[in-house]
A and B are shown apart, each in its own frame.
Chain A
Amino acid sequence: GDSVTQMEGPVTLSEEAFLTINCTYTATGYPSLFWYVQYPGEGLQLLLKATKADDKGSNKGFEATYRKETTSFHLEKGSVQVSDSAVYFCALSSPDGNNRLAFGKGNQVVVIP
């Protein structure tokens, strides 16, 4: 079945550092790929998405490129801020699965001033 794998463990880094969170997927067909973010005390919200191979999603300085050849959708930001501290979830939506989202386990990101 469809699945998403995120790198293990929380990520702690200093302000202005470069952030990468790895995400790989397994899916039938051509899924759409998403990054959702959950800020402390808030609900889950869409950060960015890409719906076909080689598309790049971007928002708030974050970027992710849909790589079909490596089945990956890694999230990057060049210079993080304390306000980026949150839990980040990678997800996919398969056209064969009633468009339900399959999520990775999430990564807690802590940015230290």
Chain B
Amino acid sequence: GAGVSQSPSNKVTEKGKDVELRCDPISGHTALYWYRQRLGQGLEFLIYFQGNSAPDKSGLPSDRFSAERTGESVSTLTIQRTQQEDSAVYLCASSLASAANTDTQYFGPGTRLTVL
């Protein structure tokens, strides 16, 4: 079946502009995660959605970052007033459920964001 998809695959923007990144999780996956991968670094957790529960926003680096999810489907990550340090690959992952920490997360191909 279809995996996690993300769009756009690449985004170049000017400093100060807002950007919106999209993630389509695997159908039936209730848990959805956003991560960021800066050059030469491991992945950093940003935000987590599980069903209709309040999202875990503890990884968002500043109030310029926000995310939404419609039910158990599409999620969008919005970065307002982008800065050069926001340049990174933004990865989305989904898993069947998060009742246990044994679940495998399936990753999308990522959106490469470049802020000029």
**Chain A interface (Cβ < 8 Å from any Cβ of B):** 4, 31-32, 34, 36, 42-46, 49, 51, 89, 91, 93-95, 97-106
Contacts and interface: CB of A to CB of B under 8 A. Distances in A.
A102 B50 CA distance: 18
A103 B89 CA distance: 15
Interface residues on B, range: 20 to 34
A43 B108 contact: yes
Contacts of A46: 104-106
A32 B101 CA distance: 6
Given A43-B108, A43-B110, A44-B91, A99 B43 contact: no
Given A4-B42, A105-B40, A99 B31 contact: yes
B2 to A, nearest CB: 13
Nearest to A50: B102
B98 A99 contact: yes
B14 interface: no
Contact of B45 (A34, A36, A51, A100): A100
Contact of B107 (A4, A32, A44, A102): A44
Interface of B: 31, 33, 35, 40-45, 48, 50, 56, 59, 91, 93, 95, 98, 100-110
Contacts of B103: 93, 99
Contact of B100 (A95, A100, A103, A105): A95
Contacts of A106: 42
Given A51-B102, A98-B50, A99-B101, A105 B31 contact: no
Contact of A32 (B56, B91, B102): B102
A105 B41 contact: yes
Contact of A31 (B35, B45, B101): B101
Contact of B42 (A31, A95, A105): A105
Contact of A94 (B40, B101, B105): B101
A3 to B, nearest CB: 10
Given A43-B110, A99-B31, A100-B33, A93 B101 contact: yes
Contacts of B91: 43-44
